[in-house]
Every structure is written in structure tokens, then in C-alpha cells.
């Protein structure tokens, strides 16, 4: 079986009836690029940048950002790298002293990710400068985490434009056409997906948070882990809506939450029309194997049946059946 997966990893992510999707990788630091390429990813769908804020006493400057992103962009070239701006806060608390955090009663609903960046723009500006400068050395796309409304997106974009203007003045090279996307991981963002999509070049669904916030289930609390359910009909309806609205606006919809990396869910995500699966490197061959084994016709029918029933038990029954056929 390991041998079979090894062979599969460099084949295209294509169904037997010739429907193609992209399989990208998630990374938490620049050292992972080798394993990304070894496992047959054709891009990085989520480059988490929080590592630069952990275990240290001074904030990274734009040069440090630049170096970390340039390295990855060059190694991944000609494939694209989606760099996510910092998502510190929530379960990813930087050293308390570094960001002068007051303890919050509900960190997941607190000053996290884009909220923190907009409150302390200097941190954000240094990172954006680093990302833009690195975009001259490989294909980089920029992604904001935790967007919950249009104003936030516009405010972030305004800062981005200012940084671009500054670089132009300094005659520093960057990709003028850099694509800007957002994670859809807060239910309110899913609710206005049609509005956000008009302002974005792509989106990526963050199911880890989307499930947590939609079902009111803390993603790291074991007491309620049984309630954390990717197949909850409300989650599947949200995913369907995000994909449909994205496609109406002619932008690609990816997914970089853990749900994308679990082969059990691959058939239904494929059937819902997901364009890009971004998963940890080790999962890539398994996801590819499922995609290469099920027709898009069958996957669409499966997704329709599951959506039509809105019944959790029925959904897993159908998915169990598909899995038993695949193995
Ligand atoms: C997510 O929320 O699904 C996601 C990919 O982001 P993170 O796990 O880093 O919050
Ligand atoms: Mg998230």
C-alpha cells in the first residue's frame, strides 16, 4: 500500500472522468518545503507565519519576514505559495510580553489575527513589506485570516496599498499583480461570501475555525470534542454556499482546514466543487488516491444526496459506503 501511494503522489489530482483539482500543502515553517515537494504538492495553500512570533523577545522586522518568505517562494517556484498574514491570538498566543497581551476571557473571540494586525498596524506593515518584497522572487499570493466583515477587508487592503506605494517610491521590486485572498473561517464571512468574493482573488475555507464558531464548540476543548463535527448539516451547507458564491464571482475556492486533509471527506468536498485541497504534506498521496478513484459524476451525486437529507447519520452511512468501495 505504501508503494501504491508513493506511485500516486506524482500523478495529477484528476478523477477518472478527467476533472482536475489542485492539491496544495500547509506548512508551519520554511523547513517543510522539501517534504511538500517530495509529496507531490503543486503549491502551498497555507504558509502559517506565526512561528516568527513565538519564543522570542523582539518582534521580527520586515527584513526577517522577507528572508523567510523569499526562501519558500524561490524553492517552490514555479508553484505558488499562499502566505497567510499572522494569526496570533486564540490558540496561537505569542509570548505574552512580545505583543503586550492582556489576558482575555475568550481568546478565540478576542484580539486575534487580522483584528490584532489592524489594531497594531506596525506589526502588519512590516509583514506586508516582507511579503511584497519576496513576491519579486517567486509566485506569492497573500491571504488574510479571520476576516469577519467587509470593512475589515477594506481596511487591510488600504494598508496593503500604502505599503505598495511606499515600496514604489523606494524603487523596491514587487509583484504588482499579487493576488489577495481571505480565509473564510468565521460564519459571518460565509454569510456575506457574495460581497467578499467581489473584492478577493481567491478564498480558502478554514474549517478548524469555521466548525468551532458555527457549532459553538471550542476546537481544543476535549469535553466537547464529540460535538465537533465536519458533517454537521450546517457546516456542509455553509461550505456549499461558500463554493457556489465563489464560483459565481469566478474565483477559486480552496480549503486549508483539517477537513481537507482527511480522505474520508474528500468525496463530498470534491462533489461540492472545491477547487483546491490544502493539506499537510503526509496526507497528499491519500487525498490524491481518493480523487483518482471516484468520478466527478458520482461525487456530485453523493454531495447532492448528503445535502438533500441534512441528516448526520445518513451522511456518514453514504461516506462509509463510498470508502468501502474505494479500498
Ligand atoms: C482553520 O481555521 O481551518 C485554519 C486552517 O487555520 P488555523 O488552524 O491556523 O486556525
Ligand atoms: Mg483558522
Residues 6+ apart with CB under 8 A from 74: 137, 138
Q: What is the pLDDT of residue 119?
A: 93
Q: What is the pLDDT of residue 56?
A: 85
- pLDDT, averaged across the chain: 95
Question: What is the per-residue pLDDT across 180-217, written as a single tens digit (0 to 9) for each?
Answer: 999 999 999 999 999 999 999 999 999 999 999 999 99
128 pLDDT above the threshold of 70 = yes
Q: What's the gap in Å between 222 CA and the centre of ligand 1?
A: 18
Class of residue 140 by CB neighbours under 10 A (exposed 0-12, middle 13-18, buried 19+) = buried
**ipTM of this model?**
0.99
Structure confidence at residue 96 as a pLDDT band (50, 70, 90): low
> Is 183 in contact with 124 (CB distance < 8 Å)?
no
Lowest mean pLDDT among 77-86, 88-97, 204-213, 219-228: 88-97
Q: Where are the beta strands (DSSP E) in the chain?
A: 22-27, 43-47, 80-84, 139-144, 179-184, 202-205, 252-255, 276-280
Torsions phi, psi for 84 (to 5 deg) = -95, 130
Q: What are the angstrom distances between the C-alpha of 212 and each of 46, 134, 206? A: 19, 33, 10
Q: What's the gap in Å between 168 CA and the centre of ligand 1?
A: 33
What's the rounded mean pLDDT across residues 29-46? 97
Distance CA 290, CA 203 (A): 23
Q: Is 222 labeled as ligand-binding?
A: no
151: left (phi over 0), alpha (psi -120 to 50) or beta: alpha
Question: What is the per-residue pLDDT across 269-301, written as a single tens digit (0 to 9) for each?
Answer: 999 999 999 999 999 999 999 999 999 999 999
Q: What's the gap in Å between 306 CA and the centre of ligand 1?
A: 25
Q: Given the residues 114, 128, 256, 260, select the one marked as catalytic.
A: 256
For 163, other C-beta atoms within 10 Å of its C-beta total 22
- For a mutational test of ligand 1's pocket, the pick from 83, 257, 278, 280, i.e. the residue with the most ligand atoms closer than 8 A to its C-beta, is 257
User: Which residue bears the cell 502551498?
Assistant: 44
Amino acid at each position: 500500500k505504501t508503494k501504491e501511494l508513493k506511485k500516486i503522489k506524482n500523478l495529477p489530482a484528476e478523477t477518472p472522468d478527467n476533472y482536475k483539482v489542485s492539491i496544495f500543502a500547509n506548512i508551519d515553517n520554511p523547513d517543510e518545503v522539501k517534504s511538500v515537494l517530495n509529496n507531490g504538492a503543486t503549491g502551498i495553500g497555507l504558509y502559517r507565519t506565526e512561528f516568527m512570533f513565538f519564543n522570542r523577545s523582539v518582534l521580527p522586522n520586515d527584513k526577517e519576514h522577507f528572508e523567510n518568505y523569499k526562501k519558500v517562494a524561490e524553492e517552490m517556484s514555479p508553484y505558488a505559495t499562499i502566505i497567510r498574514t499572522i494569526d496570533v491570538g486564540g490558540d496561537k498566543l505569542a509570548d505574552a510580553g512580545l505583543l503586550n497581551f492582556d489576558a482575555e476571557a475568550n481568546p478565540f473571540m478576542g484580539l486575534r489575527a487580522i483584528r490584532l494586525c489592524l489594531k497594531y498596524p506596525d506589526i502588519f506593515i512590516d509583514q506586508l513589506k516582507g511579503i511584497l518584497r519576496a513576491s519579486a522572487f517567486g509566485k506569492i499570493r497573500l491571504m488574510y485570516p479571520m476576516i469577519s466583515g467587509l470593512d475589515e477587508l477594506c481596511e487591510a487592503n488600504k494598508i496593503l496599498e500604502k505599503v505598495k506605494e511606499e515600496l514604489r517610491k523606494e524603487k523596491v521590486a514587487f509583484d504588482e499583480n499579487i493576488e489577495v485572498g481571505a480565509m473564510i473561517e468565521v460564519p459571518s464571512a460565509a454569510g456575506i461570501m457574495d460581497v467578499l468574493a467581489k473584492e478577493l482573488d481567491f478564498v480558502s475555507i478554514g474549517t478548524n475555525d469555521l466548525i468551532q464558531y458555527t457549532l459553538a464548540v471550542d476546537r481544543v476543548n476535549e469535553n466537547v470534542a464529540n460535538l465537533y463535527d465536519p458533517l454537521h448539516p450546517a457546516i456542509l451547507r455553509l461550505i456549499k454556499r461558500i463554493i457556489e458564491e465563489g464560483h459565481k464571482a469566478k474565483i477559486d475556492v480552496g480549503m486549508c482546514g483539517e477537513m481537507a486533509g482527511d480522505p474520508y471527506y474528500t468525496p463530498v468536498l470534491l462533489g461540492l466543487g472545491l477547487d483546491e485541497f490544502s493539506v499537510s504534506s503526509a496526507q497528499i498521496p491519500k487525498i490524491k488516491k481518493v480523487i483518482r478513484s471516484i468520478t466527478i459524476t458520482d461525487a456530485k451525486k453523493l454531495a447532492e444526496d448528503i445535502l438533500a437529507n441534512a441528516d448526520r447519520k445518513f451522511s456518514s452511512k453514504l461516506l462509509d459506503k463510498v470508502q468501502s468501495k474505494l479500498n
